Amino acid sequence: MNKNDNKKDIKKGKVDPSSIKEFKVHEECELLTFLLNKYPHLSRNAVKSLLSNHQVAVDGAPVSQFNLMLAKEDTVIVSKRRISKRERSNLPIIFENNEFIVINKPSGLLSVASDTEKARTAYRMVSDFVQQKDKHNRIYIVHRLDEDTSGVLMFAKNPQIRDALQKEWSEIVKSRRYYAIVEGKFEKKEDKLINYLKENSLNLMYVTKSSKDSKKCITNYKVIRSNDLYSLLDINIETGRKNQIRVQLGNIGHYVIGDDKYGEPSNPLKRLGLHAYELSFIHPITGKLFKFTAPMPEEFNKLFVKK
């Protein structure tokens, strides 16, 4: 169903265009399920249209993610019009509240400044965005994505929540999932890769047999689809080491496409074939589960469309 279908629902009286409704959450559930229960006369697509049109907010923060987990005592607002003016920004914002802001970082954009690039970074862009509302607003780094990796990236809005998140990061993070397109077909359609990684003098990671002065890395993969040249993987990492997905997959002969850092593979997408599509964690203070997702880039699927 498209936006016009949603307008038809309004004309039929299925949505009251003059109302702003507020609901209290009484038990944990997904946002889409909650809204469908409140609006049983609407189709799933009609409810998703409310989300995509930024007509829904949770605890004052506009949201568009249909599978956002709600906690008991959350407040959900459904409005007759867009709740935010976020559409004026080029930032692909997934979620924002008074503690953190989550974006879908494009490929080719640094998370933070480097020696050679200071201005065009996700950190700078998000900083500029929050300071449009109040010049005193600040953001703080929680974790990073490689420059050429796209997907879910979160920043804290105050040093207290940043410190709380980073202090317990390995314990509170429940999932960090990626889509990866790699070269070749797999004999094992699903496997757990366990390696020790070290960093050389050129700041490149490599697999070593010794655990001395190295870091243990665990990467789980499952083949979603493949063709004669490439395979699309669903990846869940249990550790968050530098470049671990690229290095561990390259170590078994399946380089991530477009990765000229750890090999010279083909590059049909003109970008790195790696996308961080899911991050979920338990809030270190409230205990609430947060889950953020970023859809698979369209170009990933195009490689597997039969011509």
Strands (DSSP E) found in 142-258: 150-156, 173-183, 190-199, 205-208, 215-226, 230-237
**Could you give the C-alpha distances from 208 to 140, 196, 204, 219, 261, in angstroms and in order?**
34, 6, 13, 16, 18
Residues with Cβ within 8 Å of residue 65, at least 6 apart in sequence: 31, 51, 94, 95, 292, 293
- Is residue 143 pLDDT above 80, yes or no? yes
Name the pLDDT band for 290 (thresholds 50, 70, 90).
very high
Name the pLDDT band for 11 (thresholds 50, 70, 90).
very low
* Range scoring the smallest mean pLDDT among 11-25, 233-247, 252-266, 292-306: 11-25
**Could you give the C-alpha distances from 28 to 31, 69, 190, in angstroms and in order?**
9, 7, 32
Name the pLDDT band for 135 (thresholds 50, 70, 90).
confident
% of the chain beyond a pLDDT of 90: 61
SS3 (DSSP) at 68: coil
Number of C-alpha atoms within 13 angstroms, CB side, residue 102?
22
* Mean pLDDT over each residue of the chain, to the nearest integer: 86
The residue among 10 and 134 whose pLDDT is bigger is 134
- Is residue 144 pLDDT above 80, yes or no? yes
Q: Which residue is listed with tokens 């998370």?
A: 111
- DSSP-derived pairing of the beta strands 205-208 and 93-96: unpaired
Name the pLDDT band for 15 (thresholds 50, 70, 90).
very low
What is the distance between the alpha carbons of residues 188 and 223, in angstroms, rounded to a whole number? 8
- Is residue 1 pLDDT above 80, yes or no? no
Burial class (CB in 10 A: 0-12, 13-18, 19+), 290: buried
**How much is the pTM?**
0.71
Identify the pLDDT of residue 33.
Answer: 95
How is residue 262 annotated by DSSP?
S
Domains and CATH numbers, the chain: 1-84 (3.10.290.10), 89-167 (3.30.2350.10), 171-307 (3.30.2350.10)
Name the pLDDT band for 154 (thresholds 50, 70, 90).
very high
Taking alpha carbons only, the member of 186, 247, 189, 171 closest to residue 216 is 247
The residue among 8 and 112 whose pLDDT is bigger is 112
What is the distance between the alpha carbons of residues 219 and 175, in angstroms, rounded to a whole number? 12
Q: What tokens does 15 get?
A: 């949505």
Identify the pLDDT of residue 108.
Answer: 92
Q: Give CA angle at 212 (208, 214), nearest 5°.
A: 55
Question: How large is the average pLDDT for residues 80-101?
Answer: 75
- Is residue 180 pLDDT above 90, yes or no? yes
Question: How large is the average pLDDT for residues 101-107?
Answer: 96
Angle between helices 44-52 and 3-11 (to 10 degrees): 110
* Range scoring the smallest mean pLDDT among 51-65, 176-190, 206-220: 51-65
% of the chain beyond a pLDDT of 70: 88
Residues with Cβ within 8 Å of residue 42, at least 6 apart in sequence: 9, 14, 15, 35, 36
- Is residue 232 pLDDT above 60, yes or no? yes
What is the distance between the alpha carbons of residues 67 and 207, in angstroms, rounded to a whole number? 37
The model's pLDDT over 255-278, given as tens digits with 9 standing for 90+, comes to 999 998 997 778 999 999 999 999
Name the pLDDT band for 117 (thresholds 50, 70, 90).
low
